[in-house]
Amino acid sequence: MQFSDFAFAEPINRAIAEMGYSLPTPIQAQAIPVVLQGEDVMGAAQTGTGKTAGFALPILQRLMVHANASVSPARHPVRALMLAPTRELADQIYVNVRDYAKYTPLRVAVVFGGVDIKPQLASLRQGCEILIATPGRLLDHIEQKSVTLTQVQALVLDEADRMLDMGFLPDIHRIIRLLPLERQNLMFSATFSPEIRKLAETFLRNPKLIEVARRNALADNVEQTVYRVSSDDQKRSAVSYLLKERGLSQVIVFTNTKIGASRLARDLAREGLSADAIHGDKSQQDRLTTLEGFKQGRVSVLVATDVAARGLDIAELPAVINFDLPYSPEDYVHRIGRTGRAGASGVALSLMTQSDERYLTEIEKLTKRKFEIKELALPTIHDTPVYASNTASQAIRVPRQRPQYEASARKLPGYSTDPFFFRPYEPSDIAPLTSALGGATEAVHEHIVKPSISALRKPARPLAALLGGKR
Binding footprint of ligand AMP on the chain (CB under 6 A): 19, 21, 23-25, 28, 47-53, 313, 421
At CA 186, angle to CA 180 and CA 191, rounded to 5? 135
Q: How far is the CB of 138 from ligand AMP (least distance, A)?
A: 21
Residue among 48 and 329 whose Cβ is closer to ligand AMP: 48
Per the CB < 8 A criterion, the answer to whether 183 and 155 are in contact is yes
Q: How far is the CB of 48 from ligand AMP (least distance, A)?
A: 5
Q: How far is the CB of 55 from ligand AMP (least distance, A)?
A: 9
Q: How far is the CB of 416 from ligand AMP (least distance, A)?
A: 8
Residue among 48 and 346 whose Cβ is closer to ligand AMP: 48
Q: How far is the CB of 315 from ligand AMP (least distance, A)?
A: 7
Residue among 81 and 82 whose Cβ is closer to ligand AMP: 82
- At CB < 8 A and 24+ separation, what contacts does 376-384 make? 376/227, 376/228, 376/229, 376/234, 376/238, 376/241, 376/242, 376/351, 377/229, 377/230, 378/229, 378/234, 378/237, 378/238, 378/241, 379/237, 380/231, 380/233, 380/234, 380/236, 380/237, 382/237, 382/271
Residue among 127 and 337 whose Cβ is closer to ligand AMP: 337
Residue 342 — left, alpha, or beta (φ > 0 → left; ψ -120 to 50 → alpha)? left
Q: How far is the CB of 31 from ligand AMP (least distance, A)?
A: 11
Residue among 21 and 294 whose Cβ is closer to ligand AMP: 21
Q: How far is the CB of 32 from ligand AMP (least distance, A)?
A: 10
Residue among 399 and 413 whose Cβ is closer to ligand AMP: 413
At CA 237, angle to CA 233 and CA 240, rounded to 5? 145
Residue among 241 and 421 whose Cβ is closer to ligand AMP: 421
From 274, 316, 224, 232, select the one nearest 406 (Cα to Cα). Answer: 274
Per the CB < 8 A criterion, the answer to whether 100 and 32 are in contact is no
CA dist 211 → 44, 155, 208, 437 (Å) = 5, 19, 10, 12
The number of beta carbons lying within 10 Å of the beta carbon of residue 385 is 11
Q: How far is the CB of 203 from ligand AMP (least distance, A)?
A: 22
Residue among 159 and 356 whose Cβ is closer to ligand AMP: 159
Query: What is the C-alpha separation between 263 and 86, in angstroms, rounded?
Result: 22
